[in-house]
Amino acid sequence: MKTITLLSTVNFSPAQLDKLRAVSPQFDVQQMPNALPADVPAGLREQVEILYGWSKWVTEAHQYPRLKWIQTHTAGVDKLADTPIWRQADVLISSLNGVHAIPIAEYALAAMLAFRWKIRKMLAYQQRTEWAKDRWEEFTGPELNGSTLGIIGYGAIGRELARLARALHMRIVAVNRTGERTPQRTYAEPGIGDPTAAYPDAMYRTDQLLAALPQCDFVAVAAPFTPDTRHLINAAALAAMKPTAVLVNIARGPLVDTAALVAALRQQQIAGAMLDVFEQEPLPADSPLWQLDNVILSPHISGFTHKYDDRASDLFAENLRRYLAGAPLLNSVNRETGY
């Protein structure tokens, strides 16, 4: 029986490692948390067939001579796009697409509720120990019920957000590359998401974005970052949005043109934005975004959940089973589309 050496460069728990080992005795599961190729003993590096990790621990993956498959510890694979391993077409790449769907969809829902209820204004009154005199005028606003949510990128996150929004009786406009209602092919927790893309009231192609945006009271950006989606939300897109609309970015910072967004927020061209990701991270202290009173910022935390590694190891174990069987991997990355 052939031994297949698997190296994890993240800190899976003993129980999570046992989950991987239980797939088959063929797998020699090794773990070196945060290990760069230079840290890995030459003998081990030369045996690694499967590499699990993220960021710089996989961007140097070309240094593993027998490598056949990278399972990333992230949903996005944009950091791999300009690396030598990206050009090695014989090396499979799969992502953790879908592992973040629940927490990020909850974050987007929290963003919409925060603006619907003007939470920033509530906190300002609280800090001043002041009771608002004109409460009706200041805090009455449109309900989420009956409002329209635009979801740009209808993958695992977008589909779970649509499920939550549908429960609140929101109208849903979805935008994806093809404009088609395709089945969900990525990993998903049982019972969540939108497997058949049934929830949107309307679907648009990405090149029809400017036709979709004027309908939306909230716009959630959940598309993958590729060269084609850089600055997808630009000055023209912001101009197409309602002046009462709120933008929520839960994807990658470069999907939104920061300069155009700052201008739109300053001019009240849109009502506000809740941003978890930025073109430059950490967000510089001199960024004008910090000073705008119609913005809520968070430090790229929307995918955080204590269930992350459990879900990641579940997905990885399933992909190990598929790898042994020669079956298609979950979340297999298409190098042409970039995701």
Q: Do 137 and 286 sit in the same domain of this protein?
A: yes
Q: Are residues 89 and 135 in the same domain?
A: no
Q: What is the pLDDT, as a whole number, of residue 235? A: 98
Residues 133 and 272 in one domain: yes
Q: What is the pTM of this model?
A: 0.95
With a pLDDT cut of 70, the percent of the chain lying above it is: 100
Structural domains of the chain, count: 2
Assess if residue 114 is contained within a domain: yes
* Structural domain of 62: 4-99+306-325
> What's the CATH number where 133 sits?
3.40.50.720
User: For all residues of the chain together, what is the average pLDDT?
Assistant: 97
Per-residue pLDDT, averaged over 221-226, amounts to 96
111 plus 134 within the same structural domain: yes
pLDDT for 289 equals 98
Identified catalytic residue from 300, 318, 322, 335 = 300
Say if residue 109 is in the same domain as residue 186: yes
In this prediction, residues 118-138 reach a mean pLDDT of 97
Mean of pLDDT values over 208-236: 97
Mean pLDDT of the 70-92 span: 95
According to the model, what pLDDT value does residue 121 have? 97
Distance from C-alpha of 247 to C-alpha of 224, rounded to nearest angstrom: 17
Q: Are residues 310 and 185 in the same domain?
A: no
Residue 330 domain flag: no
Asked if 300 is an active-site residue, the reply is yes
Q: Name the band, by pLDDT with cuts 50, 70 and 90, for residue 293.
A: very high
| Same domain as 277, residue 288 | yes
Q: What is the arithmetic mean of pLDDT over 258-280?
A: 98
Active-site annotation holder among 46, 138, 143, 281: 281
Is the domain of 8 the same as that of 74?
Answer: yes
Output DSSP code: residue 275.
Answer: E
Q: What share of the chain is helix, strand, coil (3-state, %, to 5)?
A: 35, 15, 50
* Residue 334, domain member (yes or no): no
- 161 in a domain, yes or no? yes
Residue 252 pLDDT > 90: yes
Instruction: Decide if 188 is inside a domain.
Output: yes
169 in the same domain as 266: yes
Active site residue 281: yes
Q: Which of 133, 135, 102, 156 is nearest to 302 (CA)?
A: 102
Q: pLDDT value at position 36?
A: 82
Task: Give 308-314 contacts, CB < 8 A, sequence gap 24+.
Answer: 308/99, 308/100, 309/10, 309/12, 309/13, 309/16, 310/16, 311/99, 311/189, 312/73, 312/96, 312/99, 313/12, 313/16, 313/19, 313/20, 314/19
- Looking at the fold, whether 312 and 209 belong to one and the same domain comes out as no
Does residue 338 sit within a domain? no
- DSSP label at 283? P
The per-residue pLDDT for 281 is: 98
- 169 is a catalytic site residue: no
pLDDT band at 259 (very low <50, low <70, confident <90, very high): very high
Say yes or no: 181 and 222 in one domain.
Answer: yes
Each residue of 23-53: pLDDT tens digit? Answer: 999 999 999 998 888 899 999 999 999 999 9
In a shared domain, residues 73 and 125: no
